[in-house]
Amino acid sequence: DSGVTQTPKHLITATGQRVTLRCSPRSGDLSVYWYQQSLDQGLQFLIQYYNGEERAKGNILERFSAQQFPDLHSELNLSSLELGDSALYFCASSVGGRAESSYNEQFFGPGTRLTVL
Amino acid sequence: GNSVTQMEGPVTLSEEAFLTINCTYTATGYPSLFWYVQYPGEGLQLLLKATKADDKGSNKGFEATYRKETTSFHLEKGSVQVSDSAVYFCALVGSSASKIIFGSGTRLSIRP
């Protein structure tokens, strides 16, 4: 158990809908990262928040948005869903804000599996 | 830009066999290199890392050496176990970036 929790575990919805995925980081971690894992795209970094502010952006679509709240939990909002958005979405957390720091290991949650029908 | 290329799977071995999973990278500067493991139904876990050339990362019997001259970070284990069955991801973080770039993953299955 990494200490990172994600809800829900599974989500099934229809095209055009909007969903929200939730992530609670490990106690004491200030950074939250979101990743998408799909069969055709592999594992891709979406976005990072550090202490409530956006720190880095990856291949995140405009239909997707995220935020980190004062209690440090984060939500990933996916809207106007398409079939191709079906994937496993991971959240990770770390103490600091720089991924390359030796002391900034990222701990991954178990993921949310999103199925768009 | 930065990228990681790793050996395609799936790889199937018998218990106690020697394992090598190849990984090469393209990056400017001096990236940090990682191997992550994903067991069935779980998130990724950091297996080992190396932050500079000639460093060797090791954990749970796995090893990988950062080779700048060949831009490689191959994962090895001398004697695999059934419990090593998982998907392995090679990854890097560039010296000026804050995001991890992952390879495509290699699925490893170990037969008893």
Query: B79 to chain A nearest CA, in Å?
Result: 26
Q: How confident is the model at residue A102 (pLDDT cuts 50, 70, 90)?
A: low
How do A64-68 and A74-78 pair as beta strands? antiparallel
Cβ–Cβ < 8 Å for B36, B89: yes
Q: Do B105 and A110 touch (CB under 8 A)?
A: no
Which of chain A's residues have a Cβ under 8 Å away from the Cβ of B98? 48, 55-56, 97-100
Q: Do A108 and B41 touch (CB under 8 A)?
A: no
Q: Do B43 and A42 touch (CB under 8 A)?
A: no
Neighbouring residues of B10: CB distance < 8 A, sequence distance ≥ 6: B106, B107, B108, B109
Minimum mean pLDDT range among A60-69, A74-83, B88-97: B88-97
Minimum mean pLDDT range among A4-8, A92-96, B16-20, B53-57: A92-96
| Of B45, B51, B104, Cβ closest to residue A102 | B51
- What is d(CA A27, CA A104) in angstroms, rounded to the nearest whole number? 14
Q: Which two tokens stand for residue A37?
A: 């894992």
- Look at residue A103 and tell me whether its pLDDT is greater than 60: no
Q: Do B43 and A56 touch (CB under 8 A)?
A: no
Which of chain B's residues have a Cβ under 8 Å away from the Cβ of A99? 93, 97-100
Q: Do A100 and B42 touch (CB under 8 A)?
A: no
pLDDT digits (tens, 9 = 90+) for A40-58: 878 899 999 999 999 889 8
